[in-house]
Structure 1
Amino acid sequence: MQRLNLNQMLSQKLSPQQIQFIKLLQVPTVELEARIEEELEINPALEEGKEEELESPTDDFQENGDTAETGDDQDINLDEYLSEEYGGYKMQGDGNYNPDEENREIPLSSGTTLHEQLISQLNFLRLDERQKVIGLQLIGSIENDGYIRRDLDAIINDLAFSQNIETDIDELEDILLKIQSFDPPGIAARNLQECLIIQLERREHREDSVVQQAIQVVQHCFDEFTKKHYDKILKKCQINEDELKEIIQLITRLNPKPGGVSDGLMRTQYLFPDFLLTENNGKFEIALNSKNAPDLRVSRSYSELFETYEKSDKKDRKLKETVTFVKQKLDAARWFIDAIKQRQQTLLKTMEAILEYQYEFFLDGDETKLRPMILKDIAEKIDMDISTVSRVANSKSIQTEFGIFPLKYFFSEGIATDGGEDVSNREVKSVLGKMVEEEDKKKPLSDDKLVKLLNKKGYNIARRTVAKYREQLQIPVARLRKEL
């Protein structure tokens, strides 16, 4: 049975202006210019130049007591917006992706993709049409890092179903061997071991004893090599420590990812800091990058056009539609200018709070002087919402005399010390990194020993936390740090 119930509820709403501000707030400087250019193209009432003092002719426009409205003026449910558009208050760590913005083309450096280069080299081989199709199938199976991880039997099935070509492992491996002779060296390998062997066999001085011994080590002692069981390698390959040192040096110079970049294309990236920090007579000064403060104004001609229409006979339907259109464009221009100004104020306010909180660090750039700081600390300091601080911190950076730092760099959790104070986990990571850097590589420090050393320095830290920080610093376990 169907029932009709009435429920009373309260919900927050975001106006189109608020949504526009939220979108602009999280756009990094490098994307802001493009966003402004886009707005200038779609809104003729917005133009570049210093703003003039104008009255708002659109505020009082009414017809029979009703203001002209469009669908864009309707409020949007806050809960729906946050769940669909933002998805939480945590800082996003995946690069500069902005879920609020529509997909845009990313400028790429000129050049060809990895697969295009390989296909070009395939065309130089004297293959018949059938072999060429098999070669193209194999190249298409190469992943962005340069490896073929798909099972050859599965590729044979693909050729049978999609290309109607019957082949076998022998023929497939024969053509694969040809592709593995292409540049870059190591391409189309099925695993790291095969990748290293291909590169070693293509060395200029392949007959050199060190190269031959390196091939032997990778072929017959690969597991021992990856685990740094050097004693077993010395015994199994019947070589001495000096020879093994040369072999290790040679192998570690090889490229474990012959495909290069992660997406098969070389991307050109430029870093534009959002803030500039300078010191003037012992006092810090924060300035926004000039690209964050564009000169925008409402078009005077559009304002005058509206004033003319507004004074004319509004009973004409077409004229009313024209007035409504002009009003929408003028309102949109003002909203956009206000959102840009509000963005500038919020950015500066947040950065000033971060500077005050991490003042000791900005004096000399010493990472150990960073204080524990989370989004909530800054949000309370500037009396704004945590989500606002998160949007500012995400994809923004500041240029200092010590280099350019992303704002997320200054946020970290605290670790308790024997003195009862909290220190930034970045300080602990810095100390941990120095310990590993200064350790005896013949007897590297285990996680247990690192814990004891950190505890002696007054840092109350557990073994699992040390292991987590070590992994974040991309420091391998003690066994893999061992050297001869």
Structure 2
Amino acid sequence: MLQVRLLEMPLTELEQSVAAELDDNPALETNSNEPNDTDNYDAANNNDEQGEEDFDQQTEREEREQALDAALENIGRDDEMPETYGRDNYNNADYEEIVYGDTTSFYDKLKEQVGEIDLNPQEEEVLLYIIGSLDSDGLLRKDLESIADELAIYHNLDVETADIEKMLNVLQTFDPAGIGARSLKECLLIQIERKPDSWAKEMMKRVMNECFDAFTKKHWNVIQTQLQLTDEQVADVQAEIRKLNPKPGASMGETQGRNLQQITPDFIVETDDDGKVSFYLSRGNIPRLTVSPSFADMVDHYKSNKANMTKGEKEALLYAKEKVEKAQGYIEAIKQRQHTLSVTMQAIIDIQRKFFVDGDEADLKPMILKDIADRTGLDISTISRVSNIKYAQTKWGTFPLRFFFTDAYTTGDGEELSTRKIKIALKELIDNEDKKKPLSDDLLKEELAKKGLPIARRTVAKYREQLGLPVARLRKG
């Protein structure tokens, strides 16, 4: 469970976990004399060759020894327990003032709001999964049945769609208004509902509920007739609707620093001029960890003198042994996290090497979680945890790991095409079309076929809608 928990953490959260564990377990120490190696989390059993300590090392050692002495003094007292310094002790002003830089992401800001409401563990996990499924606009493009399937496969959670919808309704109460909507109409209605009661609010609701088709086609003359509005009233309603935000997630990114360059990357990927791609794990502010020599020595001492132990000494042995084993387990879990992240990133690079060399998004191959699981021998659920809210810094920018995963479209001939590549080509065609004569979906289908992307017209329409691009008649300039 510890390995799973650490695996899910992004780098900044792991830094906090390590700091909390160091405070909680006096048998766990930092070892600044270890080489600067990202995989070096060895549990040392002695420190005889450490040499002279500098002031900081001496101070830290003395503090550890004091913590050990204080803890041992309390062992054996029926009415007292050794004091610990875990997460619960962080309710103080000094801790609240810790700032890890302006790295608050879109996901993090929503996660903060999750922490402000009372949910049971399963409800919280479902809500966080929904948040992780939002697109860059802050909208939920997946249907609830798909989310239910993914929760069952990747998180072993059997959740009814009604319960998922309940959590979605909770998300839709978050800021900014409109977040978590499943459509443009729902997004705008959520924002309208939060406005104070007024004539304009009622009219906007009627436009959305009674005239939405006309609204999407900008047929305000139809809306005016249907709602029996004057020219001045139509202008007022239009002005109020223009204040609404169809992309609440994008606006949240601007105000909360969602720029991916501000996010602390977990992987640093380097591509040299010869096309060789390599990477290393970013360790951030995580120190080297080792088992406290004083605790390890005490365990060895007591083990060799078992026959002559008093009751108090036996209790001290059990306490020290428990702390040493916990420290060793934590160090091992960190090492296992490093290994799992490394093999996963290497598999991603092996499949998407062309992108890392030239930076062309169209070169991303179809790749799903199972592809990486098959290459690494890891479970799909493990790959899902690794790819969640973690980032890779590349020559071409910093990307969430989910960016490298793309579905496949299978043509009638059985050829697999990257949906990402198709969407890029589709967007380029629409961006470069003659706005006086925009291309219909049928013409777009023909142009894509010329580019070696033979897809059905209904698929063109589906991908165009997913890109947020209107039909041809609404693109006419």
Q: TM-score, normalised by structure 1?
A: 0.56
What is the deviation of 1:330? 0.6
- The separation in 2 between residues aligned to 1:234 and 1:442, in whole angstroms, is 27
Post-superposition shift, 1:383?
2.3
> Match of 2:301, as an amino acid?
T
Larger of the two Rg values belongs to structure:
1
Distance 1:41 1:297 in 2: 14
Instruction: Note if contact 1:145-1:257 (Cα within 8 Å) is conserved in structure 2.
Output: no
1:228 and 2:238 are equivalent in the alignment? no
- Map 1:344-423; keep pairs closer than 5 Å: 344-416=338-410, 421-423=415-417
Within the candidate set 460, 466, 475, 1:466 is matched to: 460
Tell me the alpha carbon deviations over residues 103-131 of structure 1, each in whole angstroms, 9 at most, x when there is no partner.
Answer: xxxxxxxxxx999xxxxxxxxxxxxxxxx
Alignment pair present for 1:277 and 2:269: yes
State the SS of the aligned residue for 1:415.
strand
Q: Structure 1: 5+ residue runs without aligned partners?
A: 1-18, 56-83, 101-112, 116-142, 151-172, 181-185, 197-217, 237-246
Between the aligned partners of 2:225 and 2:122, the Cα distance in structure 1 is 61
Corresponding residue SS for 1:276 = strand
1:288 alignment partner, one of 281, 285, 289:
281
Q: In the alignment, which residue of structure 2 is the partner of 1:94?
A: 131
* Distance verdict in 2 for CA 1:234–1:428, change over 3 Å: same
Choose from 227, 234, 243 the match for 1:255: 243
Query: What is aligned with 1:42?
Result: 24
Amino acid in the other structure paired with 2:269: L
- C-alpha contact (below 8 Å) 2:44/2:293 kept by paired residues: no
> What is the aligned partner in structure 1 of residue 15 from structure 2?
33
User: Cα RMSD (Å) of the superposition?
Assistant: 4.7
Aligned mates of 1:144, 1:313 — CA distance in 2: 73
Instruction: Specify whether residues 192 and 316 from structure 1 end up closer, same or farther in structure 2 by C-alpha distance, changes over 3 A only.
Output: farther
Question: Which of 290, 297, 305 lines up with 1:304 in the alignment?
Answer: 297
| Deviation by residue 1:353-373 (Cα, 9 ceiling, x = unmatched) | 111111111111111111111
Percent identical pairs in the alignment equals 39
Corresponding residue number in structure 2 for 1:318:
312
Cα separation, 2, equivalents of 1:259 and 1:474 = 10
CA–CA distance in structure 1, aligned partners of residues 402 and 285 of structure 2:
19
Out of 192, 215, 221, the position equivalent to 1:147 is 192
Who is 2:101 aligned against? none
Q: Distance in 2 between matches of 1:338 and 1:114?
A: 40
Paired AA for residue 380 in structure 1: D
Letter in 1 for 2:21: E
1:419 offset after TM fit, Å?
7.5
Cross-structure match for 1:424? 418
User: How far off its partner does 1:471 sit?
Assistant: 2.8
**How far apart, in 2, do the equivalents of 1:428 and 1:258 lie?**
25
Contact 2:43–2:331 (Cα < 8 Å) also in 1: no
1-structure distance, mates of 2:456, 2:203: 36
Distance in 2, Cα, partners of 1:302 & 1:440: 75
| Aligned AA (1:358) | Q
Code of the residue aligned with 1:227 in structure 2: it is: K
Distance 1:222 1:96, change over 3 A: closer
How far off its partner does 1:31 sit?
1.2
Alignment length, in residue pairs?
329
Partner secondary structure for residue 131 of structure 2? coil
Greater percentage in helix: 2
List gaps (5 residues or longer) in structure 2: 35-41, 47-120, 135-153, 157-173, 177-187, 227-234
Moved more, 356-365 or 275-284: 275-284
Contact 1:149 1:191 in 2 (8 A): no
Compared with structure 1, are the counterparts of its residues 223 and 367 closer, same or farther at alpha carbon in structure 2 (3 Å cutoff)? closer
Deviations 1:7-47 (A, max 9, x none): xxxxxxxxxxxx21111112111211111112112111112
Instruction: Tell whether the 8 Å contact from 1:373 to 1:414 is kept in structure 2 after alignment.
Output: yes
Where 1:290 maps in the other structure, the secondary structure is coil
Aligned pair in 2 of structure 1 residues 467, 281: CA closer, same or farther (>3 Å)? closer
Taking a change above 3 Å as real, the CA distance of residues 473 and 96 of structure 1, as seen in their structure-2 partners, is closer
Counterpart CA distance in 2 for 1:253 and 1:145 is: 12
Q: Contact between 1:358 and 1:370, CA under 8 Å: does it hold in 2?
A: yes
Q: Give the letter for the 1:29 counterpart.
A: L
Task: Give me the whole-angstrom Cα distance separating, in 1, the residues matched to 2:123 and 2:213.
Answer: 46
Q: Report the residue type matching 1:147 in the other structure.
A: I
Inter-partner Cα distance in structure 1 for 2:175 and 2:332 = 46
Deviations 1:67-94 (A, max 9, x none): xxxxxxxxxxxxxxxxx98999xx9563
Query: 1:39-73, CA deviations, whole angstroms, 9 ceiling, x for partnerless residues?
Result: 11211111222456327xxxxxxxxxxxxxxxxxx
**Could you tell me which residue of structure 1 aligns to residue 44 of structure 2?**
53
Q: Sort the Cα spacing of 1:285 and 1:398 in 2 relative to 1 into closer, same or farther, 3 A.
A: same
